[in-house]
Chains A and B, each alone.
Chain A
Amino acid sequence: MARTMWDSSVGKKTVMAVSGVIMLLYLVAHVIGNLKIFFGAEEFNRYGHWLRTVGEPFMHYEWTLWLVRIVLLVAVVAHATSAYQLSRRDIKARPSKYVHKKPRASYATRTMRWGGVILGLFIVWHVLDLTTGTVHPGGFQEGHPYQNVVDTFSTWYGNVVYIAAMLALGLHIRHGFWSAAQTLGVGSRTRDRALKTIANVLALLLTAGFIAVPVGVMTGVVS
């Protein structure tokens, strides 16, 4: 069954849809966590520490966190690999363009591929910046996420990269969520409006929620 899935274009789209939904659910939890930064350093840092102790005493320190990280890594790799392979197939299936060109599809739909590449690069930077601290501006302090976030968004490029990526994320979710519903066969004529609304609301709330943090640092609300 796994073989049939991966070998078929429809099956590969299913892999994309499922991995996309997993990442989307994670993002909802992520944005809720991020917003705690507006309640002060103490609450935000405590939340950061709690993430490592989730599931104790059943789970050892950081086990749950690593479990989530592994699931996310698998989701990202599956999503990107299927996207790459499907895109290759699509480009091969339409080698010659029409001489008479027309603007096609919505902006969100047309930017899925490059938007996805931008998001992939962003994730690498984001992890190196705020998880490992490798490319963090100003001394990265383990266990002090509040200060680390403030440091990142005190640089102009930190703000630009982050905000650009979050706009790309909004567009990606807007088309991606609704598409995933069609791929998984849960879309229908009666549900179409609801699905499109949920996609737009999710895209808007996630983008606004994530962008609130750098805007907060820039305006001095978070410092």
Chain B
Amino acid sequence: MKLTLRVWRQKNADAEGAMSTYEVDDISPDMSFLEMLDVLNEQLILSGEEPVAFDHDCREGICGACSLVINGDAHGPERTTTCQLHMRSFQDGDTIDIEPWRASAFPVIKDLVVDRSAFDRIIQAGGYITAPTGSAPEAHATPVPKADADFAFEHAECIGCGACVAACPNGAAMLFTSAKVNHLNVLPQGAPERETRVLDMVAQMDAEGFGGCTLTGECATACPKGIPLMSITSMNKEWLRATRKAGKR
């Protein structure tokens, strides 16, 4: 495959960025999108140019490190992570636009790499449980109803890649935050912090400068892990419940 790539190049956080055009040849349809970028970078290094900086780690679709907006879609045209996207999803001769996540809470560090530490601070605000340390507890010590376990697991699938923020026209982190809140709030292990968790995480989300939800559904469409849009509804419900309870105290 022969492809034309238009890639966002930005020297550092303060520099002005722009799209640069590159040609790549001999791309196998079986290559992953990141392998295709590796080919581009080898080409750039050989010609003495600065390689394109992009985030990647496990390349197995489970770590949430890769983060590219490909032809206007977070993680590209397939519902998966960029690392699990293969070149067979494109045609020979295509022009592909590659941009970083866009959100003021995710500032560009270099080229296609953005700073997603805002997510870490949302987790620090309440995405944990007060687990006793020491040996693992007996598995049946805390029974969890099947429906709750399924609900928790569905939300626990979130890998925190930030595609939801990148896809949202408001740069909102509602889907990420709701996945994390719902995952722990439904379980007995998460019950002691049920109210403070949702209040603190939403407050941190606001403080980081993420936008609000206008229910466009773009986040859930982009999510490589299939976190449903209804996740946001569940978090809103938890937030209102916690606010009412806090008001009574």
| A contact set with B: CB distance below 8 Å | 1, 4-5, 7-14, 86, 89-102, 104-105, 109, 112, 175, 178-179, 181-189, 192
Contact = CB atoms under 8 A, between A and B. Distances in A.
Interface string B8-31: 100000000001000000000000
Given A94-B170, A185-B234, A189-B230, A99 B97 contact: yes
B71 interface: yes
B237 interface: yes
22 contacts: A1-B246, A4-B247, A8-B239, A9-B206, A10-B202, A10-B239, A13-B236, A90-B214, A91-B170, A91-B211, A93-B170, A95-B104, A99-B19, A100-B71, A100-B72, A100-B99, A101-B72, A104-B216, A104-B218, A105-B216, A179-B214, A187-B230
Contacts of B206: 7-9
Nearest to B202: A10
A90 B214 CA distance: 9
B104 A93 contact: yes
A130 B142 CA distance: 65
Given A102-B73, A185-B234, 18 more contacts: A8-B203, A8-B239, A14-B240, A89-B211, A90-B171, A90-B214, A93-B105, A93-B210, A98-B69, A99-B6, A99-B99, A100-B99, A104-B169, A175-B215, A178-B215, A182-B232, A183-B215, A189-B228
Contacts of A7: 206
A7 B204 CA distance: 12
A4 to B, nearest CB: 6
Interface in B173-231: 199, 202-203, 205-206, 209-218, 228-230
B91 interface: no
Contact of A182 (B97, B103, B170, B233): B233
A4 B243 contact: yes
Contact of A183 (B168, B205, B236): B236
A151 B209 CA distance: 50
B103 A93 contact: yes
Contacts, number: 132
Interface residues of B, number: 50
A192 B97 contact: no
B215 to A, nearest CB: 4
Contacts of A92: 104, 209, 211
Given A13-B213, A179-B215, A8 B202 contact: yes
A109 B215 contact: yes
A13 to B, nearest CB: 6
Nearest to B236: A185
B65 interface: no
